[in-house]
C-alpha cells in the first residue's frame, strides 16, 4: 500500500469538480490531516480531510515550494 500523496504549501491543484464560480483550480494553504484550499476564481476558502482531498484532486499543476522533478532518463548513478 502506498503512503499519502505529497502536497506542498502553495501548490496549485485541479479538482475533479468545478466550483460554482466556474473555476477548477485551487491553491493549497494548509497541509496535514486536513487541507485548507482557496479557489483561484473567487477566493472562497474550503477545509477538508486529507482522504477526501486526495480523492478530489485530478492534477497537481505545480507551485513555488514543490521540489524539481528528477528526470529518470538522466539517472543518478555513474555511467561506465
Distance between CA atoms of residues 80 and 46, nearest Å: 52
Distance between CA atoms of residues 36 and 73, nearest Å: 35
CB 31 within 8 A of CB 48: no
- The pLDDT tens digits of the residues spanning 28-38 come to 999 989 999 99
Q: Please give the model's pTM, rounded to 2 decimal places.
A: 0.74
- Using alpha carbons only, what angle is made at residue 10 by residues 41 and 44, rounded to the nearest 5 degrees? 30
Please report which confidence band the pLDDT of residue 14 belongs to, taking 50, 70 and 90 as the band edges. very high
Rg, Å, the chain Cα set: 15
Q: What is the average pLDDT value for the chain, to the nearest integer? A: 83
Amino acid at each position: 500500500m502506498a503512503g499519502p500523496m505529497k502536497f506542498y504549501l502553495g501548490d496549485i491543484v485541479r479538482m475533479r469538480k468545478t466550483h460554482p464560480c466556474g473555476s477548477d483550480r485551487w491553491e493549497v494553504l494548509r497541509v496535514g490531516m486536513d487541507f485548507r484550499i482557496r479557489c483561484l476564481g473567487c477566493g472562497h476558502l474550503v477545509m477538508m480531510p486529507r482522504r477526501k482531498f486526495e480523492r478530489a484532486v485530478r492534477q497537481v499543476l505545480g507551485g513555488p515550494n514543490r521540489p524539481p522533478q528528477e528526470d529518470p532518463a538522466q539517472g543518478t548513478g555513474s555511467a561506465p
